[in-house]
Amino acid sequence: MRVAIMQPTYLPWMGYFNLIKSSDVFVFLDDVQFAKRSWQQRNKILLHGKEKYLTVPVKTKNAKSLQLSEVMVDDQQEWRKDHKNTLFHAYYNHPFGKEVWQEISEVLDGESDLLCEINISIINKICHKLNMNKKILRSNEIPVTGKKSEYLLKICQNLEAEKYLSAMGSKEYIEKESLFRNSKIQVVYQNYSPKTYHQFGCSGFTPYLSIIDLIANIGWEKVLDHFDENCFD
Average pLDDT, the chain: 95
At 32, the pLDDT band (50, 70, 90 cuts) reads: very high
52-101 tens-digit pLDDT: 999 999 998 777 789 999 999 999 999 999 999 999 999 999 999 999 99
**Given this model, what pLDDT does residue 42 score?**
98
Question: Helix 97-108 crosses helix 115-129 at what angle (to 10 degrees)?
Answer: 150
d(C-alpha 208, C-alpha 46), whole Å: 10
Domain residue ranges of the chain, discontinuous segments joined by +: 2-226
What pTM was computed for the model?
0.96
Q: Check if the beta carbon of residue 47 is closer than 8 Å to that of residue 82.
A: no
Tens of pLDDT along 138-167?
999 999 999 999 999 999 999 999 999 999
